[in-house]
Structure formats: structure tokens, C-alpha cells
Amino acid sequence: MTTTISGLPGLNDLKDTPAENINEFAEKGHTMVRDILSADEMAAYRPVIVDAAERYNTERRKMQDRDTYGKAFLQIMNLWRVDEGVKKFVLAKRLAKIAADLMGVENVRIYHDQALFKEPGGGPTPWHQDQYYWPIDTNNTITMWMPLIDIDLDMGMLTFASGSYDKGSIFDYEISDESESAFDDYVRGHKFPISRATTMKAGDATFHRGFTIHNAPGNNSNKMREVMTIIYLADGARVSPPKNEWQKNDLAKWMMNKPVGELIDSELNPKVL
């Protein structure tokens, strides 16, 4: 199917984000905002995002042949660069405004997007911190995680260790069995409350900080858990020296190898608000 953007509803209206979300995000490092897209809007955008994710998915291995990371989800990245319909969603000012309000800034840029589709029978997503992967000189980063269909606890609900974001990077582990085990001990040891929604409607979204520790259970249902994510940076963030191979890779892939110390403002990082 070829995507055409005519007919897709505009998502550029700006609303103030509810104070309770801003306060919860400041305290816990995550919050859920309900009803960001209406049912009609989601009915228009879901097929566009699902179609693009299916076209660009490269995972062909059987579930049993994958490692823990590979079992957790199909991960299809920067779809906004290859599909005009997805671009309209990812660059939507309505979504960017919520990210900006939560981060307490006026302007935000895109880091990258990713469709994260947890297959029926897909495994758990191990505990991790996203920003372990990012060579960025600010902690003011945020991931929006939006289900494209209604989901419940059985389908791999995103789960947060509330208040776990303010110590920066805790461990030197990529997403793996090792990160699950080390963060599990850490989260228990620090008695961080564990928080996850029971249900989310398509068009609701959670937002979490780059250093908020989070995971997700496996998908025990017979439906694909279709989720679209967008990672935003506060405008003004600069490239920091890569601390690991993943960060070197991110610098090349998501920031066009901008030199260390420079503003993150490459063609891949448009200011959306």
C-alpha cells in the first residue's frame, strides 16, 4: 500500500498539558496522558503506521531463535524519514507540546521514532534506561509511548520504577538478561514504587524520562501489541562524547555524526515546536 497524506487529520493544535501530568512527571519521571488522539484520528493513523512498520520490519527469525532483546519486540526505527503519513504523526505539534510542557521547555527536537510491536507470545522487555544509549549532554529527554490499539495487562504494559531517574546512568548494561537482573535488584533495594496502567486506550500515551528505569512484561495475548514511540530532546542539547559503542552508533545513526559539543540540530533532528 502506498501511503498518501491527504485525508490524514492534522495534529498540530496546541493544548495546555494538565497540571497533574506535569506534577506527576516531575516527581516520578513518568506520567500517562489520556485521549491525546481521538478514536477517529487513531482510526486514520493506525493503518498508516502499521503498514509502514510491516514494510520496513527486517526481523525474520523465529521467536525461539532470538535472544532476549529480539524476543521483546519488533523494533522499526525512524519511519518518519521513509513514510509521509508517519511523518505527519511524528512531527505533530500536539504531541511535541505535551513533551515540551512535561520537560518544562518551549522548544523540542526529534531524536528518533520507533515502532515497538510486541508479538503474540513475545517476551518481556528487560529493565533498562534508554539514555544509556544516547550521547546527549542533557537529561531533559523524553519518550512518548502510544498504543495504536487498546491494550491491557496481558499485552506487555510499559512499567516504571517511579522516581528512579535522578541518578543518571546506573549500570553499564545494554537491554539484556543482565540488565533485567541488575536493575531488578537495584529497584527492589531502593524500594522504588512500581507503576503501570491496567489498561490503555489507543491514543493514550505514557511519557518517561531518558533515565527512568522501565520494563514491560511479555505479550500473553494473541494480538500484536502495536505501539509507536517518539523520542524528543529539549532544544539546545549538544552532543556529548560517546561513552560506549552503542552511543557511537547512535551518534552516526540519529545525529548524522555531528561533532562532540555541537548543537543537536541535524536534518534528522528537526525542531518540531
Ligand X SMILES: O=C(O)CCC(=O)C(=O)O
Q: What are the residues binding ligand X (CB under 6 A)?
A: 72-73, 116, 118, 125, 130, 143, 145, 156, 158, 214, 216, 227, 229
| Choice between 45 and 132, CB closer to ligand X | 132
Give yes or no for a contact between 79 and 53, defined as CB atoms under 8 angstroms apart: yes
Strands 141-147 and 205-209: antiparallel
Closest alpha carbon to 148 in 95, 201, 77: 201
| Choice between 3 and 125, CB closer to ligand X | 125
| Choice between 3 and 117, CB closer to ligand X | 117
Tell the smallest beta-carbon distance from residue 40 to ligand X (Å): 25
Residue 228 pairs in a beta bridge with: 115, 146
| Choice between 215 and 269, CB closer to ligand X | 215
Q: What number of other Cβ atoms are within 10 A of residue 256's Cβ? A: 12
Tell the smallest beta-carbon distance from residue 10 to ligand X (Å): 25
Tell the smallest beta-carbon distance from residue 19 to ligand X (Å): 25
| Choice between 12 and 75, CB closer to ligand X | 75
| Choice between 73 and 232, CB closer to ligand X | 73
| Choice between 38 and 199, CB closer to ligand X | 199
Tell the smallest beta-carbon distance from residue 231 to ligand X (Å): 8
Spatial strand order in the sheet of 205-209: 30-33, 205-209, 141-147, 227-234, 108-117, 74-77
Tell the smallest beta-carbon distance from residue 94 to ligand X (Å): 19
Tell the smallest beta-carbon distance from residue 2 to ligand X (Å): 28
| Choice between 83 and 226, CB closer to ligand X | 226
Cβ neighbors of 188 (< 8 A, separation 6 or more) are none
Tell the smallest beta-carbon distance from residue 271 to ligand X (Å): 22
User: What span, in angstroms and rounded, lies between the C-alpha atoms of 130 and 258?
Assistant: 20
Rounded to 5°, the CA angle 245-255-93 comes to 130
User: What span, in angstroms and rounded, lies between the C-alpha atoms of 16 and 173?
Assistant: 37
Tell the smallest beta-carbon distance from residue 145 to ligand X (Å): 5
